[in-house]
Amino acid sequence: MNIQQFQCPACNAPLNPKGSALIVSCAYCHTSVIVPEELRQTPGAAGWATHVYDSFVSNENRWLVGSFPSEYFAKLDQFIADGRYRWQAQVTIPSTLTTAWLANYPVSDFHLTANGKHISGSKAGSSYGVIFRIQDNYNFYWFRITDNQFFAVSVVKNGQWQTLVDWKRTDAIKPFGVNQLDVIAHETHFTFKINGQIVGEVESEHFGRGFVGLAIEGYTAGEEITFDFIDFMLRAP
């Protein structure tokens, strides 16, 4: 379908979707219409330069690696080998997040892509994903998925969590397969994709600029969990 063929199903009026919007309202009869994916656009992102592409064949980008046991994780090992950034953990305190980010690339508008895989642990017992507009350990956004096919988006501000997209199920997630997560930020608008499918959009004004990175979270005390991040790409104007 092209833009000239996109019409309101109720009154046949032409529709003009804006940007990456999932839904457009007919100006004539006010019917809400889902925008076909091929007609959704991301402002500017297609022409943005690649600032980072990391396939984890080395640690040239200085990701956090080592062993970091704590009161939250009885075991936490992060290492890069064989084209994988592997995270192995044993959860002590449930709903605990551990992160790693690139400290040399603060961005405002950006397109962030990461491919990851859940290696071990129960499907619902943990999540993995990307963090962005990071200010510090207590201020950032967090987009994550679980292998029982749920995703969520939150913002953490001064250590307090706020839900932007509550846990929602999607068939876009491949359980125990490689999943590609994308976040596209344009000013205060964020678009979220899983394996190329748009799963959500939000408006949020908490942080206008920040770093980007990766994270995992464990929900079950005593469970051992393992994740691989396979690559990471950051594009920005």
96 token code pair: 């605990």
| Domain boundaries of the chain, sorted by first residue | 1-41, 45-236
**In the prediction, which pLDDT does 45 show?**
74
User: What pLDDT score was predicted for residue 42?
Assistant: 54
Of 166, 163, 140, 138, the C-alpha closest to 151 is 166
Read off the amino acid at residue 63.
W
Q: Indicate the CATH number for domain 45-236.
A: 2.60.120.560
**pLDDT value of position 157:** 96
At position 45, the amino acid (one-letter code) is A
* pLDDT computed for residue 27 by the predictor: 75
Phi, psi dihedrals of residue 165, rounded to the nearest 5°: -130, 115
Query: What local confidence, expressed as pLDDT, does residue 55 receive?
Result: 94
135-158 b/e with 16+ CB inside 10 Å = b? beeebbbbbbbbbebbbbbbbbee
pLDDT recorded at residue 7: 82
> What does the pLDDT read at residue 26?
73
Phi, psi values for residue 45, rounded to 5°: -60, -35
**Residues 186-200, buried b or exposed e (16+ Cβ, 10 A)?**
beebbbbbbbeebbb
pLDDT per residue over 1-34, tens digit each? 555 567 878 878 777 766 556 667 777 777 877 7
Q: What is the pTM of this model?
A: 0.82
Predicted pLDDT of residue 174: 95
Q: What is residue 16's predicted lDDT score, i.e. its pLDDT? A: 72
- With a cut of 70, list the residues of the chain below it in pLDDT: 1-5, 17-23, 37-44
Give dist(CA 183, CA 132) in Å, integer: 9
